[in-house]
Amino acid sequence: MAESNKMKDMPVNKLMIQMGIPMILSMALQAVYNIVDSAFVGNMRVGSESALNALTLVFPVQMLMVAIGIGTGVGTNALLARTLGQGNHKKAAKVAGNSLFLGVIIYVICLLFGIFGVKAYISSQTVDAEVLAMGISYLRICCVISFGIIFFSLFEKLLQATGRSLYSTIGQVVGAVVNIVLDPIMIYGIGPVPEMGVKGAAYATVIGQVASAVLLFIFHIKLNKEFGHGIKNMKPELAIIKEIYAIGLPAIIAQALMSIMVYVMNLILKFNPSAQTAYGLFYKVQQFVLFLAFGLRDAITPIIAFAYGMRSKKRIQDGMKYGLLYTIVLMILGVAITEIFPNAFATLFNAGQSREYFIGAMRIISISFIFAGINVAYQGIYQALDGGMESLIISLLRQLVIILPLAGVFSMIVRNGQVGILLIWWAFPITEIIACAVGDVFLKKIRKTKVNVLN
């Protein structure tokens, strides 16, 4: 079946499974980059505790780079799917070309930050000289060679918008394998490669990202035949860029808020470096679970957007129903894994002094996964139906308006000891439950104003 016919005619439940599984695997493997780095770094012979802390501090900037790339890709994905659903292939070519032009601009910004801004950023979170040196080295490499993750994010969404999510997964698998193979070689020094420690972890990560980007570029050129390619399509058109970011900006803000949240949580936990490291380690496990929901969201958005372009009320409703159902199933699985195996994860990271804090975080924060997953699915539905503002509000509630004041207040009640830190962890489930209730109200509103009015 042709890809365009599949998006139009295949039953939505089957289509979501067929598109969703590769996307889920793709996002899970993206999360593996950070988990693998932390696992290998945590087992370094010298300075492993400082190295884990350094990776915790640089993580928000890594997330921010991914946020801008993925957010631009989300806007491209939904707009391209809708444009193809309308049969406008000329505009589709310009949408794809303009997204790549935006990728160049994003890379230049990341490069400048890598050269001039890294030291000031790391210094704001720690005074430990060893952690500072490691953090600066790792983050500078990731920023200067960030074109891999940026263009991988864009080509991934271009393939997903045409229903070719399997190929984006292949690219992600290749990058993950390259990263995993190179990590021990470059971190510990194997064969002719010298021992590079934290720098080795950074180089392994960016080389894997570049490998993924190159492979997806080839797939994009060879397979995305529904629209034209070429430099001429990269000529910036303000109207198209506005349309991309009308959909994608809320996604960028949503992802960027994660970076802000982790950065502020690092500041809140600054009084206890072991708890700070534990939170950074757990966040990577949490991202692995939530990235399953993000992967399914990336199937929900183009499916519903394509159906919206067709004005197919039934396919939109099926997209909502199966998207939420499959998300809940995935999140139940995530809760089960994190509640049953916290000690195994602590051992994987060689958490050291942070072990008890890490296990406490895992047992409490994982309660929030089901509600967080539903919120992510809601946002995918909103983005597909031009509900950018609703998506933004949910993100603000989840990652800024509720969580940070609540965690700050809890940290002031009891600042020392395991009991005080456990209280901070409870801010996460409370936040997700409140945001989920608000999201349900928004969904009912969008059903009434955007879906039920269709013939």
CA dist., res. 327 & res. 330, Å (int) = 5
Lowest mean pLDDT, pick from 27-41, 254-268, 349-363, 400-414: 27-41
pLDDT higher than threshold 70 for residue 154: yes
pLDDT higher than threshold 90 for residue 49: no
CA dist., res. 114 & res. 136, Å (int) = 9
In the predicted model, what is the mean pLDDT of residues 97-111?
A: 95
DSSP letters for 350-379: T-GGGHHHHHHHHHHHGGGHHHHHHHHHHH
pLDDT at position 33 is 67
In the predicted model, what is the mean pLDDT of residues 100-129?
A: 94
Position 415 confidence tier, pLDDT thresholds 50, 70, 90:
low
CA dist., res. 430 & res. 418, Å (int) = 19
pLDDT at position 1 is 44
Lowest mean pLDDT, pick from 30-34, 299-303, 333-337, 386-390: 30-34
The answer to whether the predicted template modeling score (pTM) of the entire model surpasses 0.85 is no
In the predicted model, what is the mean pLDDT of residues 5-13?
A: 84
pLDDT at position 351 is 77
* Cβ neighbours for 281, distance < 8 A, ≥ 6 positions apart: 38, 52, 56, 345, 349, 351, 354, 358
Report, in this order, helix, strand and coil percent for the chain, each rounded to 5. 85, 0, 15
In the predicted model, what is the mean pLDDT of residues 112-134?
A: 93
**HSE-up of 196 (CA within 13 Å, CB side)?**
21
In the predicted model, what is the mean pLDDT of residues 368-390?
A: 91
CB of 320 closer than 8 Å to CB of 381: yes
pLDDT at position 35 is 80
Q: Which two tokens stand for residue 74?
A: 């989300």
Higher pLDDT: 53 or 432? It is 432
pLDDT at position 137 is 96
CA dist., res. 443 & res. 382, Å (int) = 8
* Cβ neighbours for 239, distance < 8 A, ≥ 6 positions apart: none
Instruction: Find the helix packing angle between 403-413 and 427-446, rounded to 10°.
Output: 160
In degrees, rounded to 5, the angle at the alpha carbon of residue 368 between the alpha carbons of residues 40 and 295 is 65
The average confidence (pLDDT) of the chain is: 89
pLDDT at position 110 is 96
DSSP letters for 89-128: HHHHHHHHHHHHHHHHHHHHHHHHHHHHTHHHHHHTT---
Instruction: Find the helix packing angle between 48-85 and 273-310, rounded to 10°.
Output: 10
